[in-house]
Amino acid sequence: MDQAPGSPDQHQAAQGLPSCYRHPDRETGIRCTRCERPICPECMVSASVGFQCPECVRSGSGTGHTATASRPRTIAGSAVISGDPRLVTKILLGINLAVFLAVLVDKTLVLRLDLVGAAFSPQLNQVVGVADGEWYRLVTSMFLHQEIWHIAFNMLGLWWLGGPLEAALGRVRFLALYMLSGLAGSALTYLLAAPNQGALGASGAIFGLLGATIVLMRRMNYDLRPVIALLALNLLFTFTWSGIAWEAHIGGLVAGGAIAFGMVHAPARRRSLVQFGTCALVLVAIIVTVVLRTQSLT
């Protein structure tokens, strides 16, 4: 239905999205279904219909059924984080930085931890690679960086994208998203790259967070143009710069988007089952990819 000239909705559209009533620096298109105050992902609490603000949840949490129905939940159904909303993000960032500092001290760590399918290493004087039984490389390579610009870009992306996603999905779901996206990137690199081609970095996981951000913003009816532009710019760099493992970027992006879709679109009554099932399917796809590639190389 068309709005009459000068209506409140048209005025709001002209002024842009409203700001969260608890976080004035965050624009949002979501309102509390009870009081209609604008709320951001960190403040929204899942209700039987739509989302509620923390104040309305507390005011309706007296006794009996209402207290149970109004239990604070994020858009993905996890408990609202009461402590540091970036705790897991900070831990992941710390692990990446710690490994980077370790590499500065011992350069041979790159040879022992990077992602390589199967190759003879003259420095180590032995055959190395995932196909040789070193499956841990699929994980260790996700936290391994050599160049300062590489870890700087990845950690900046982790900080920008990780905090909002951790608040919206919850810590456990966010960690699953990060790890599975990174593993998917490693698996696709292992499958498509030359067996003796080394790869390293958290880029697969970061692209997974980017894909998840697009899904989350679409679910919340946010303007997708800024994040689509960011994705397009990153894909441009992926396919035009030399020395970039594009397979990790694409694998992480697809896995992150799929996992996030299952998390934020799962029906309330079967939310845990759908979310667990989505993560399980992605993990099975990763395992099958790795096993088939290993068989072809041995």
Cβ-based burial of 18 (10 A; exposed 0-12, middle 13-18, buried ≥19): middle
**Residues 242 and 191 grouped into a single domain:** yes
CATH number of 267's domain: 1.20.1540.10
Residue 17 tokens, joined: 């999205």
What's the pLDDT at 60? 62
The three-class DSSP label of residue 253 is helix
**Residues 130 and 37 grouped into a single domain:** no
Residue 50, pLDDT > 80, answer no
pLDDT in tens, 16-37: 678 888 888 887 878 787 787 8
Of the residues 65, 186, 203, 272, which is catalytic? 203
pLDDT band of 63, cuts 50, 70, 90: very low
Whether residue 76 lies inside any domain: the answer is no
Residue 62, pLDDT > 70, answer no
pLDDT in tens, 100-124: 999 999 988 998 999 999 988 787 7
**Residues 144 and 181 grouped into a single domain:** yes
Amino acid in position 208: G
* DSSP β-bridge partners for residue 126: 121
Across the range 229-237, mean pLDDT stands at 93
Domain span holding position 47? 17-69
| Overall size of the chain counted in residues | 298
Residue 11, pLDDT > 60, answer no
What's the pLDDT at 288? 97
What's the pLDDT at 100? 96
Whether residue 192 lies inside any domain: the answer is yes
**Residues 97 and 21 grouped into a single domain:** no
**Residues 225 and 129 grouped into a single domain:** yes
Whether residue 81 lies inside any domain: the answer is no
pLDDT band of 47, cuts 50, 70, 90: low
What's the pLDDT at 251? 97
What's the pLDDT at 199? 93
**Residues 27 and 114 grouped into a single domain:** no
> pTM for this structure?
0.79
Residue 81, pLDDT > 80, answer no
**Residues 289 and 261 grouped into a single domain:** yes
**Residues 97 and 64 grouped into a single domain:** no
Of the residues 186, 249, 265, 272, which is catalytic? 249
Residue 68 tokens, joined: 């149970």
* More confident of the two residues 288 and 245: 288
Distance CA 46, CA 289 (A): 36
pLDDT band of 201, cuts 50, 70, 90: very high
Reply yes or no on whether 203 is catalytic.
yes
Whether residue 208 lies inside any domain: the answer is yes
pLDDT band of 71, cuts 50, 70, 90: low
**Residues 34 and 99 grouped into a single domain:** no
The domain total for the chain is 2
Whether residue 12 lies inside any domain: the answer is no
**Residues 116 and 258 grouped into a single domain:** yes
**Residues 171 and 283 grouped into a single domain:** yes
The three-class DSSP label of residue 205 is helix
What's the pLDDT at 216? 93
Distance CA 38, CA 26 (A): 10
Whether residue 74 lies inside any domain: the answer is no
* More confident of the two residues 167 and 31: 167
Whether residue 238 lies inside any domain: the answer is yes
Of 9-13, 75-79, 117-121, 172-176, the one with minimum mean pLDDT is 9-13
**Residues 249 and 186 grouped into a single domain:** yes
The Cα-based distances of 28 to 4, 17, 70, 74, 263 in angstroms read: 23, 6, 22, 15, 20
Of 26-40, 121-135, 275-289, the one with minimum mean pLDDT is 26-40
Whether residue 232 lies inside any domain: the answer is yes
* DSSP β-bridge partners for residue 199: 115
* DSSP β-bridge partners for residue 237: none
